Amino acid sequence: MNQTVLILDFGGQYKELIARRVRECKVYSVVKPGDTISVDEIKKINPIGIILTGGPNSVYLPDSPRCDKEVFNLGIPVLGICYGSQLLAWSVGGEVAPCAGGEYGKTKMIVDNSSVLFEGLTSEQVGLMSHTDQIVKLPDGFSSVAKTIDCPNAAIQNPSKRLYGVQFHPEVESTPNGTPMIRNFLYGVCGAKGDYDLKNLEKELIEKCRNQVGDAHVLLGLSGGVDSSVCAALLSKAVPGQLHCIFVDHGLMRKNEGDEVEEAFKGRDLHFIRVNAEDRFLAALSGVTDPEKKRKIIGAEFVRVFEEEARKLPNVKFLAQGTIYPDVIESGGSKAATIKSHHNVGGLPEDMKFEGIVEPLRSLFKDEVRALGKQLGLPAKFVCRQPFPGPGLAVRVIGEITKEKLDILREADAIFREELERTRVRADQYFAVLTDTRSVGVVGDFRTYDYTIALRAVKTSDFMTCEFTQIPYRVLGRVSSRIVNEVKGAGRVVYDITGKPPATIEWC
Ligand code: XMP
């Protein structure tokens, strides 16, 4: 049995990011709703420490989510983050009030590095702040161990009771030393031993899948991308003989990709089914220009094909998908805004004919999925592939999708990828986009009026944020010249130099 850290969620955006940081520190964690969990349940979990997440509420308002105040008397170490810190202070006798103007973004802090939280760090630190309330009176027995210009209680502690709070977010990359701070809490306060690693994660995920699926059969939507390939490897270990992998060629794949995926999976120890469904996807997408509509149509069409195929197989009750955490976050939900409905989350129809969905990777981030894939023995070729979205080139053709536009894009995209892979330039994702803009050109003595191709190449590790890749002009020049010379219908090439945020990686 691994040591466990309990993460109590109060509606913060970053709860899975906290869980991920705890995993990075080799400690197992579970996330539970903070306002409904009982003290008895907490005792049963027997955590070595509790982390309270942030959240959008004000703790002094009557309807705000709160945990039982007894949580702070259990003798279990607590680290409150943002709202969690305010909740901790308020629950044990402190005061919280609105701060003038709030405090947002990367903020300079002076920390007291004699506190265990900041051990090994210098006294000048940067923390990501995002709050409109703050602790204005410390509870008895607490002291402040970090401050910013506007926030005198940026971190608080009561070491004898092992209660700690930070107003900033140590879990995000914008707090550069956030992980060491979390590690200090886990190892210096909670007595963590670091008994959790990828092997445990694999075992845990396999066990969860087995419990969910029982002796039923599972149909996995396999695109050949990293996430669904890792999902296939995991499920083939968890429920061997009960897994069917279906690859739907929706006509929105990159050049030669359909055949490559078939080639890669055909000879493996799993039941591989390929369905050629170009006509029905293009018919369903005909005349549609709105990106969210396209995604929903594709999500629904995928499921219809899955259902049809499932009927031909014995005892298929579950649909499995390689959904990962960033897909879930961006698709929004009751509390969060929808950035785009990833086809496998927001795009699923409500009347699906499966008994349940199996998504073992749902709380993992891309780099964790790759590490898990390597451990499961997948060849580097799969694990290191750049991501390709489930809706395929549909999110890279702006405006209406037609076969003609798709063919132009496929050729241009293949040239860009080929040329970039020949250089020393390293990008985590790179592709071409067919914009809906046509422009005038001159070829020989003739006027042309062809599509503009946009090139996109980004550096990122979590795909939640990115910077554009600095590609030398001579490489861009060569790609541009090849595209306009070799691809009929492509008349101009531009390079996208926007980061995420404010843009996203894909154009749709
Ligand atoms: P964005 O465009 O949101 O993309 O910055 C982040 C990462 O997710 C991929 N992506 C998707 N993957 N289904 C997927 O499986 C989708 O609907 C989808 N939309 C975007 C995108 O390629 C990038 O790696």
pLDDT of 335: 46
**Low-confidence residues of the chain, pLDDT below 50?**
334-335
CB of 224 closer than 6 angstroms to any ligand 1 atom: no
CA 181 to chain centre: 23
Secondary structure letter of residue 268 according to DSSP:
S
Distances (CA, A) of 176 to 22, 84, 173, 287, 506: 16, 20, 6, 47, 27
Q: What pTM was computed for the model?
A: 0.78
What the chain holds in terms of domains, given with CATH numbers, is 4-189 (3.40.50.880), 198-383 (3.40.50.620), 398-495 (3.30.300.10)
Read out DSSP for 219-239?
A: EEE--SSHHHHHHHHHHHHHS
Q: How far is the CA of 402 from the centre of ligand 1 (A)?
A: 21
Beta bridge partners of 131: 103
Per DSSP, the three-state class of 118 is: helix
Secondary structure letter of residue 379 according to DSSP:
-
pLDDT of 330: 66
Length of the chain: 508
Q: How far apart are CA 462 and CA 443, in angstroms?
A: 43
CA 64 to chain centre: 27
b/e map 319-345, b = 16+ CB within 10 Å: bbbbbbbbbbbbbeeeeeeeebbbbbb
CB of 64 closer than 6 angstroms to any ligand 1 atom: no
Chain segment 324-345, per-residue pLDDT in tens: 987 887 666 544 566 767 767 7
Q: Check if the beta carbon of residue 38 is closer than 8 Å to that of residue 27.
A: no
CB-facing half-sphere around the CA of 176: CA atoms within 13 A: 9
The tokens for 255 are 């050049």
Q: Return phi, psi of residue 294, to 5°.
A: -60, -45
Chain segment 155-200, per-residue pLDDT in tens: 999 999 999 999 999 999 889 999 999 999 999 999 999 999 999 9
Q: For the beta carbon of residue 477, count every other beta carbon within 10 angstroms.
A: 11
Q: Quote the crossing angle between the two packed helices 198-213 and 366-375, to the nearest 10°.
A: 90
pLDDT of 395: 96
Q: How far is the CA of 193 from the centre of ligand 1 (A)?
A: 36
CA 463 to chain centre: 7
pLDDT of 336: 53
The tokens for 507 are 């154009």
Q: Which residues contact 44 (CB under 8 A, 6 or more apart)?
A: none
Active site residue 169: yes
Q: How far apart are CA 138 and CA 136, in angstroms?
A: 7
Atom 6 of ligand 1, residue of closest alpha carbon: 463
Q: Check if the beta carbon of residue 199 is closer than 8 Å to that of residue 377.
A: no
From 16, 25, 67, 82, active-site residue: 82
pLDDT of 402: 97
Per DSSP, the three-state class of 172 is: coil
Q: How far apart are CA 295 and CA 318, in angstroms?
A: 22
CB of 342 closer than 6 angstroms to any ligand 1 atom: yes
pLDDT of 363: 86
Q: How far is the CA of 431 from the centre of ligand 1 (A)?
A: 12
82: left (phi over 0), alpha (psi -120 to 50) or beta: left
Atom 4 of ligand 1, residue of closest alpha carbon: 505
Q: How far is the CA of 327 from the centre of ligand 1 (A)?
A: 7
Beta bridge partners of 466: 500
Q: Which residues contact 198 (CB under 8 A, 6 or more apart)?
A: 371, 372, 375
CB of 249 closer than 6 angstroms to any ligand 1 atom: no
